[in-house]
Structure 1
Amino acid sequence: MKLKHIAFCVAALMPTMGAGAAQAQEEIIFGISAATGSLQEQTASEFARRVNEKLDGKAVVKVFDSSQLGKDKDMLQKIKLGTMHLTLPSSTMPDIAAEYAIFDLPFLVADREHLKKIDETLFKDVLVPAAEAQGYRPLAIWENGFRQITNNERPINTPEDLSGLKIRTPNSSWRVAMFKEYGANPTPMGFSEVFVALQTGVIDGQENPLTNIAAGKLNEVQEYLSLSGHVYSPAYPTVGLAAFEKLDPEIQTVLAETAQEVAGWARETGASKDDDLLKQLEESGMKVNKADRAAFVEASKPLYEKFATEVENGQAMIDQVLSLADGS
């Protein structure tokens, strides 16, 4: 286990041991569940490169991908306890604060320009305070991507084609509810378990952005790729509030500012890679089809009703996000 090789620096939490003692370099441990080569991993690495350059030896960000430090929920607990510093949750955030389920409403985000407007409005005023009330602070909205459906049984053109299929979802109650509405048998599990579960037939399919499908080599164990674009999933570089505030103020500032800087880089990189990833997956042997958007939109209406009734100010959030799509 690579965990045995991780050194956690505690210099920031201990008194100086003498005026002449050399100050140890602070290690900022950043754990993510996404695989090496995914957009999330590339973004985390770009973030680390920029932070390390700015801090110039005062501290160093170290990225551990592919669930080396645990599954998403494990890492969220660790940043809250202060045993690591940063993680990158995506679909698990609604279980921290219900407001984040706005991104689990199918077909709500029109495109990346629309996402940018949501970032500039809802993030600071609504999403950040909701997470802080639970002891977390997301520093930015990065990209995970538009999610597509893969499986080994048949092309998915309408929700009816999902009937009875065991579809892996993230550990998100909202994503489970979505695929139940579509007639599937949703099966939540961590991403690190998906390849083997598909390979052994424990599940029939899954849903993820193209970058995760490619990085996870899911094309090796999946025959059909159906372009549904049913959800745009952000990823949130997130710290535990109490542990973050114990860091040197300069380090806090650099982490927060750089996370915001990298958000634009992530969206641009994600947009530039979509066509290449689709071509790569198709050339690997996957059979690609475009799902019937109108049929999925119709089947998604109960999810909007659920959000409007179960989340405080839910309808107002929906209306605000939809209004931002004008001109996107």
Structure 2
Amino acid sequence: MFKKTVTMLLAMAVVGVGSLSAQGVEAAEVIKFGHVGQPGSLMDKTATEFAKRANEKLGDEAEVRVYGSSQLGGDTQMLRKLKLGTIDISLPSTVMSSVAPPFALFEMPFLVKDREHMARIRDDKLIRGKLDDAAASQNYKILGIWENGFRNITNNKRPIKTPDDLKGIKLRTPNGVWRVRMFKSYGANPTPMPYSETFVGLQTGAVDGQENPLAQIYPARFYEVQKYLSMSHHVYTPAYVLTGASWNRLSDHVKQVLEQTAQEMQPVALKYGAQLDEDLLAKLKDEGMEVNDIDHQAFIDASKPIYKSFEDEVDGGKQMVEEVQSLSKQ
């Protein structure tokens, strides 16, 4: 009888410990990080590395889980989910120009000269202050500024060398009003479309071309449905490590780790981006894409009206453009 009682008590203790362990696993904070990048893309590489570094610091306190390939929705859907607090972090890019006017700064063509210039822009107090305030006005918080990259044009009609070559081309663009306006001014027929739908759009001929960084073009296998790659570098788009309503429910230590790690990843993202540009251009050529350079001056001249619109319509727009231009000379 005694032996039986002891056995029952030990069994109950084991169940209790198991129950506590299960509760402990469930109690760990799960931080959902969504992005639209395909496996192997810059977004995928940076988000994965961020999660690895953050999770090492967080231990059992919380876990960052990354959901790429639009698993949690497109950029616009994820922005809504951030506001609702149903996801915790996302990595939007162009779509931010539709969130608040100052983000349209990075819609200005040929504004960012290179990644060294971008690093100075990112760290500039005036520019970062404007972006932080703009995000806060819509109940978002920027944890860090990474990279989507320098964008280039692909299409099936002809090589793009001057703005005239874009006339009549149906070009997929992200959902950003300024990108649409820019390509309309060049003579193209811009068509906003979620990134996740772009391959099928190109494959079926719903659109003739698209524009993206090489780090998005190659992983999405656009080379299978596109003939020409024009190295325009027309716009540099940052990727914003963005959080929303759920931020306030996190502990101070978790917040500190996430923000520090996001900032720690800023130069890493630029390094990854530069390496991918070099590697992927060679791969795209190997896949048979016809690659050409553009007449930059012709595009710069054609871009003057979009700058004027930005400076006229965005509060402090002229000051922001001048600040960025001044940083290119350092």
Q: TM-score, normalised by structure 2?
A: 0.91
Q: d(CA) in 2 for partners of 1:178 and 1:91?
A: 13
Partner of residue 137, structure 2? 133
Q: d(CA) in 1 for partners of 2:204 and 2:60?
A: 46
Secondary structure, aligned partner of 1:149: strand
Q: d(CA) in 2 for partners of 1:307 and 1:124?
A: 18
**Identity between Structure 1 and Structure 2 (%):** 52
- Conservation of the 8 A alpha-carbon contact between 2:34 and 2:89: yes
1:144 to 142, 148, 151: 148
1:124 to partner: Cα distance: 3.3
Partner of residue 157, structure 1? 161
Q: d(CA) in 2 for partners of 1:255 and 1:124?
A: 18
Q: d(CA) in 2 for partners of 1:55 and 1:151?
A: 45
- Code of the residue aligned with 2:182 in structure 1: it is M
1:273 to partner: Cα distance: 2.1
Check if 1:207 corresponds to 2:211. Answer: yes
Q: d(CA) in 1 for partners of 2:246 and 2:140?
A: 10
Q: d(CA) in 2 for partners of 1:24 and 1:50?
A: 21
Partner of residue 70, structure 1? 73
User: Over residues 35-89 of structure 1, what are the superposed CA-to-partner deviations in whole Å (9 max), with x where a residue is unaligned?
Assistant: 1110011100000000000001211100011111111111011011111100010
- Code of the residue aligned with 1:320 in structure 2: it is E
Secondary structure, aligned partner of 1:237: strand
- Code of the residue aligned with 2:50 in structure 1: it is F
Secondary structure, aligned partner of 1:285: coil
User: Over residues 250-271 of structure 1, what are the superposed CA-to-partner deviations in whole Å (9 max), with x where a residue is unaligned?
Assistant: 1111111100000110101111
* Equivalences for residues 288-327 of structure 1 within 5 A: 288-327=291-330
Partner of residue 168, structure 1? 172
Partner of residue 25, structure 1? 28
1:33 to partner: Cα distance: 1.0
Q: d(CA) in 1 for partners of 2:89 and 2:276?
A: 26
User: Over residues 168-209 of structure 1, what are the superposed CA-to-partner deviations in whole Å (9 max), with x where a residue is unaligned?
Assistant: 000000000010011000000110000000000000000000
Partner of residue 122, structure 2? 119
1:84 to 80, 84, 87: 87
> Which has the larger displacement, 185-194 or 273-282?
273-282
Partner of residue 187, structure 2? 183
Partner of residue 98, structure 1? 101
Partner of residue 234, structure 2? 230
1:216 to 207, 217, 220: 220
Q: d(CA) in 2 for partners of 1:256 and 1:309?
A: 34
Partner of residue 10, structure 2? none
Q: Where does structure 1 lack aligned partners over 5 or more consecutive residues?
A: 1-17
Partner of residue 11, structure 1? none
Partner of residue 40, structure 2? 37
Greater radius of gyration (CA) = 2
Partner of residue 244, structure 1? 247
Partner of residue 9, structure 2? none
2:199 to 195, 198, 202: 195
Q: d(CA) in 2 for partners of 1:124 and 1:281?
A: 35
Q: d(CA) in 2 for partners of 1:236 and 1:253?
A: 17
- Code of the residue aligned with 1:31 in structure 2: it is G
1:57 to 55, 60, 63: 60
- Conservation of the 8 A alpha-carbon contact between 2:111 and 2:235: yes
Aligned residues: 307
- Code of the residue aligned with 1:77 in structure 2: it is R
1:130 to partner: Cα distance: 1.0
- Conservation of the 8 A alpha-carbon contact between 2:42 and 2:276: no
Q: d(CA) in 2 for partners of 1:92 and 1:165?
A: 22
Secondary structure, aligned partner of 1:36: coil
Q: TM-score, normalised by structure 1?
A: 0.92
Detail structure 1 runs of 4+ shifted over 3 Å in the superposition: none
1:222 to partner: Cα distance: 0.2
Instruction: Kindly report the root-mean-square deviation, in angstroms, between the aligned alpha carbons of the 2 structures.
Output: 1.1
Q: Which has the higher helix share?
A: 2
Secondary structure, aligned partner of 2:122: helix
- Code of the residue aligned with 1:130 in structure 2: it is A
Partner of residue 15, structure 1? none
Q: Where does structure 2 lack aligned partners over 5 or more consecutive residues?
A: 1-19
Q: d(CA) in 2 for partners of 1:124 and 1:220?
A: 39
Q: d(CA) in 2 for partners of 1:94 and 1:219?
A: 28
Q: d(CA) in 2 for partners of 1:82 and 1:173?
A: 26
